[in-house]
Chains A and B, each alone.
Chain A
Amino acid sequence: MRRWSGVMAVLALLAVSTPVRAQTLVADLSSHLIAITTGFTGTDVVLFGAIDQPGDVAVVIEGPETAQTVRRKDRVAGIWINNETLKFTHVPGFYGVASNKPLDALLPSAVAQRHEIGLDHLRMLPRADADAATVAEFRAALIRNKQREGLYGTEVGEVVFLGQRLFRTSISFPANVPIGLYTVSVFLIRDQDVVGAQTTPLAVSKIGFSADIFDFAQHDGLIYGLLGVLLAVGAGWLAGTVFRKG
């Protein structure tokens, strides 16, 4: 029941998601739902679209926002111990960006900042009292760790133009992709400025057996735990009986 709420939300958003400037840009995804089933090992989603006048295109994929605590280890009495910490809020759980030209050639920094295009321009909010140098250091570490987990793109993806008007790009999601509601934003860029944009929702949801187990574990933890122990006892008893003669 609950896992369908994500799908419903997508459908609702689809109904209202109209392009900002309807005439200039149209884009859509090959799929609006990434279903994490038992066999899930990651997947690719294709984004395709068209523009009515020549221009450049940048695509930003953002996963559900979380808060992240970044910790730095320091050597204490010979061993490495987590010491200084800084918490960031409004951190996207997944972030990817793609464009048909290098980003710094397309947009001035201020514009990229406004639309959060590119890892350097992510608006992650640190705790208020932290000084700038510390924030920069911990912010870089946060991005680096996310990249190592495969959740933040290490490089800008490629938007391919087919002729003047049609474009497409492919977005890869790894197996550990966080569940939730994603937004895929497509920006039309002309003369160093964003002149059109469209946002499309994308849901990442656990479906089927793995979803059932996850929901069960989250909502009825006690019963789930008891059932797990019962299963283990059963398996152990079976093994003890089968191998009795040995």
Chain B
Amino acid sequence: MQIYLPIAEMSVNVFWVLGLGTMVGFLSGLFGVGGGFLMTPLLIFIGVPPAVAVGTQANQLVGAGVSGVMYHWRKRNVDVKLGLVMQAGGIVGTVLGVMLFGMLQRLGHIDLVISLSYVIFLGGISGLMLMESVRAVFRGRRKGGASRGKLHHHTWLHGLPFKMRFPRSRLYISVLLPVGIGFVGGVLVAIMGIGGGFLLVPAMIYILGMPTTLVAGTSLLQIILTTGVAAVLQAATNHTVDILLAMMLLVGGVIGAQLGSRASGYLKGEQARALLALTVLGVAVKLAVDLVLTPDDLYSITSTGPRP
């Protein structure tokens, strides 16, 4: 069954899009990530204009985030105060990101910047994750009690001003840290159409030193707010949110996420992380290869004229 997407201005097969949503939802449930990093490149690959893919994806992530936060909320694993502070930086980052997106679009470099950011961020993070999980697997094999090291290192990060208490996470840190992390997350949402969980989660663990139990729920809360702002801004300024497409992806994604989180019971933590790292690395390598290989047609066109 074909359906015409009014904003993307193309006709797609409903079951195809539902399937795509389910597949990405399954992976996101399996690994506990948003899945935006897979969905946005896939949408672009099936012919959705990059700007529409990014804007629509922001809207879709709001829905995915809400059901995720509800899950963590019931387990009381959300630090609302920290999430809101991060959000302060997130809004600024999103606004700046949407402006940057529009500027790059006019200059004709947006596709390149999207691809490059994917290669750099996804490649870097997945490389680190892969190294860590390989090490974890080996450590597990040796059954050696490798020393865990000091729990709390004092670095220059703790010398920053404007300290604030976050009782839920038992932290006393400079506001600049969560605001800064939120800011980077906001820029990523606007430019790459991803929630940025894969970047926020390690940053919250290693830079803020948050308890790991609270990280998933709190980062999801921050993601809902940032993606929400991004979706509204993209719709208001660039008209690039396709509600029909977002709803189809959401339906598939919700079902997939439930199946995925059930399937995740059969995977060990480090196995799941290694698999996730491999998937992310795969996306990064594919995009890197596309940047280096000679394209079929060196020329591309964009409509810059009056549209009826």
Q: Which residues of A does B touch, CB under 8 Å?
A: 6, 36-42, 64-74, 78-82, 85, 87, 89, 91, 93, 138, 141-142, 144-146, 148, 175-176, 178-181, 206, 210-211, 213-214, 217-218, 221-222, 224-229, 231-233, 235-237, 239-241, 243-244, 246
Contacts and interface: CB of A to CB of B under 8 A. Distances in A.
Contact of A229 (B62, B297, B299, B304): B62
Given A145-B297, A214-B6, A236-B64, A224 B241 contact: yes
* Interface core residue of A91, A141, A214, A228 (most chain B CB under 10 Å): A228
Contacts of B258: 239, 243, 246
B108 interface: yes
A80 B298 CA distance: 9
Nearest to A81: B112
A63 to B, nearest CB: 10
Interface stretch (B150-158, B188-196, B206-214, B246-254): B246-254
A180 B308 CA distance: 6
Interface of B: 2-7, 9-11, 59-60, 62-68, 70-71, 74, 108-109, 112, 116, 228, 231-237, 239, 241, 243-244, 246-247, 250-251, 254, 257-258, 262, 291-292, 294-295, 297-308
A41 B96 CA distance: 37
Contact of A146 (B3, B241, B301, B306): B301
Given A145-B299, A222-B232, A240 B62 contact: no
Contacts of B6: 206, 210-211, 213-214, 217
Contact of A225 (B108, B233, B257): B233
13 contacts: A66-B304, A71-B299, A72-B298, A82-B300, A175-B10, A178-B9, A213-B7, A213-B243, A221-B237, A229-B231, A232-B63, A237-B70, A239-B254
Contacts of B251: 235
Contacts of B63: 231-233, 235-236, 239
